[in-house]
Amino acid sequence: MRRRALLGGLTAAAVLGFVRPGRAAMPELHGASDAWAGEGLALAWGVLRGPDEERTRVVLRIESTGARHARLTATGRDPFGGADVDIPVRREAPGVFVVDLPRRHFAEHPRTELRAWLDGAAEPALMVYFQGVPDTTPESTSAERLQTDLQARLTRVRAQRP
């Protein structure tokens, strides 16, 4: 009897679109740290201090291992019922992406969702999300220092991944 109820519930869920038969769910990973590596991606956050808070930027560098992910999209969300916004993602090279936003963006849209797409895929292969700018994100006062720091942390986090 329980088995029949469970199967009936799963069938109803599939009909309503909650479960897609034959299709694996996209992994959703919480990237809680200012540098993260996993599932063919590595990323690092940094803050570029401006002369004042209005001109301070948050930079996120994302690198795909072996250019595995051909495309990356980003969304900013207000988890308290506000609107979602598309975040511009700049492609610097095959498998290298940069998000560069004013720090004030995170006051209204603190959740950042990054979706990585394999070449030719109809749906993303992976989603990594963050709740705000990680507290441990280092700040730099020059763009050159920020780039050096991002690259060093990407190298370190990749080496730590088994």
Residue 41's pLDDT band (cuts 50, 70, 90): very high
Give me the percent of the chain exceeding a pLDDT of 90. Answer: 69
Contact by Cβ (8 Å): 128, 31: yes
User: Is residue 22 pLDDT above 60, yes or no?
Assistant: no
Model confidence at 26, in pLDDT bands (50, 70, 90)?
A: confident
Q: How many residues does the chain have?
A: 162
The pLDDT of residue 15 is above 50? no
CATH class of 26-160: mainly beta
pLDDT mean across residues, the chain: 86
Q: How confident is the model at residue 35 (pLDDT cuts 50, 70, 90)?
A: very high
- How many whole angstroms separate alpha carbon 91 and alpha carbon 55? 23
Give me the residue spans of the domains in the chain. 26-160
Question: For residue 1, what pLDDT is reported?
Answer: 47
For residues 16-27, average pLDDT: 54
**Is there a contact between 60 and 98 (Cβ–Cβ < 8 Å)?**
yes
Q: Provide the 10 A C-beta neighbour count for residue 54.
A: 9
Structure tokens at 70: 């051909």
pLDDT tens, position by position, 58-107: 999 999 987 789 999 999 999 888 789 999 999 999 999 999 999 999 99
d(CA 57, CA 129): 19
Gyration radius of the chain's alpha carbons: 19
pLDDT tens string 108-121: 999 999 999 998 89
Q: CA-CA distance, 72 to 62, in Å (whole number)?
A: 9
pLDDT at 117: 93
**pLDDT confidence band for 47 (50 / 70 / 90):** very high
Q: Write down the pLDDT at residue 23.
A: 53
Q: What is the pLDDT of residue 9?
A: 43
The structure's pTM equals 0.81
